[in-house]
Structure 1
C-alpha cells in the first residue's frame, strides 16, 4: 500500500493513566449553537465522560475520528467531548460540516489541556507549533480515568471497539 504520508513514531509520554485523577480545566466548550467557558468538572455530573484529543479541525485525522465516533453513536453511552487547538469558530464549522450536533468540542488554541494530560505532539517542520496527539480518556463521575489510550505513532486512530467496551462494561 502506498501511503501519501510518512508514519512517524512519537516519543514516549507520561500521560495520565488509568486509575489516576484527570486534570481539571476550564476552556470554551463549543456546540452547534454557541460556546461558553465550561469546567470539565461540570461534565462529570453525567458520567462517563469521554475526552477525545484530536488534531486540528479540517485535517483528515480529525474528520475521520469524529465521523467514526458519530457513526458509532457514542453519545448514547456517554458525555463525549473533543479537545484540540482549533478555535471556537473552527469547531463550529466542524460540527456543522460533519453533522456533529450531538457532540461538543473544547477549544484550546494554546494546547494547555494537552500539556496537562501530557499528550502533546510537535508538528514536523514547524518549530514551536504543537497540537494534541490523538488520545481518548474515559472518566468516571469523580474524574478518575477508567480507560486511557494515547497514540504512539502519527497518524494513529483510537481503538474504537476497546473504547466502546470501556463505555458499556459495568
Structure 2
C-alpha cells in the first residue's frame, strides 16, 4: 500500500457558483492532435476538471473514475480537463488511460491561477500545479457547480457532481 501524508492546502478564492467562467485559450489535446482552443469555443454545458500533472496518482484516479462513469457519453455535456502538463504528456496520458476526453495544457498555471486552483508543491520552489477541482458550466459558461480540493489528496464526491450534471 502506498503511504503518503495528507496536506491541508491554503484557502483559495476560486471562481464561485453564479460567476461567469473566465475564458482562456490553450492547446486542447485529443487522442490524435491538439490545437489552440478557447473555452468559449466549446458548445453546450461543460464540465471543466482541473487535476494535478499527468502521471501523479490523483490524475490517474480522477480520470479513471470519470471514464468509468462515462461522463458526457449520454448527454450534450462536454468534459474537458486542465493541468500543467504539456501537450506531449497529455497525448501519452490519454492513450494510457484509454480516454475519450480532451485536455487543456496549462504549463504556466495561468488558467489555474485565474480559477483560483493553483498551489505550490511542498518543498519545490517555483513549482506549481492545479489542485483537483470541478466546475460545471451552463450553456452560457456560468458556473452552476464548483468543488475545489481543500487538502492533498482529495477527490470530488462523484455522485454529487453527477446529480448536478443531471440538472444542467
TMscore range, shorter length: over 0.9
**Offset at 1:26?**
0.2
Q: Which residue of 1 aligns with 2:34?
A: 35
Q: Which residue of 1 aligns with 2:117?
A: 119
Q: Which residue of 1 aligns with 2:85?
A: 86
In structure 2, how many angstroms separate the alpha carbons of the residues matched to 1:82 and 1:157? 15
Q: Which residue of 2 aligns with 1:6?
A: 5
**Offset at 1:158?**
1.2
Q: Which residue of 2 aligns with 1:167?
A: 165
Matching residue within 68, 78, 101 for 2:65: 68
Unaligned runs of 5+ in 1: none
Q: Secondary structure at the match of 1:74?
A: coil
Q: Which residue of 1 aligns with 2:48?
A: 51
In structure 2, how many angstroms separate the alpha carbons of the residues matched to 1:147 and 1:113? 18
Q: Quote the RMSD (CA, aligned, Å).
A: 1.1
Q: Secondary structure at the match of 2:72?
A: helix
- Pair 1:130 & 2:128 matched: yes
Aligned residues: 166
**Offset at 1:48?**
1.4
Runs of 4+ off more than 3 Å? none
1:102-157 CA-partner distances (Å, limit 9, x unpaired): 20000010001000001111101101110011000000111100000000000011
Q: Is the 8 A contact 2:45 2:141 kept in 1?
A: no
**Offset at 1:3?**
6.1
* CA shift in 2, pair 1:73/1:89, >3 Å: same
Q: Which residue of 2 aligns with 1:19?
A: 18
In structure 2, how many angstroms separate the alpha carbons of the residues matched to 1:98 and 1:62? 10
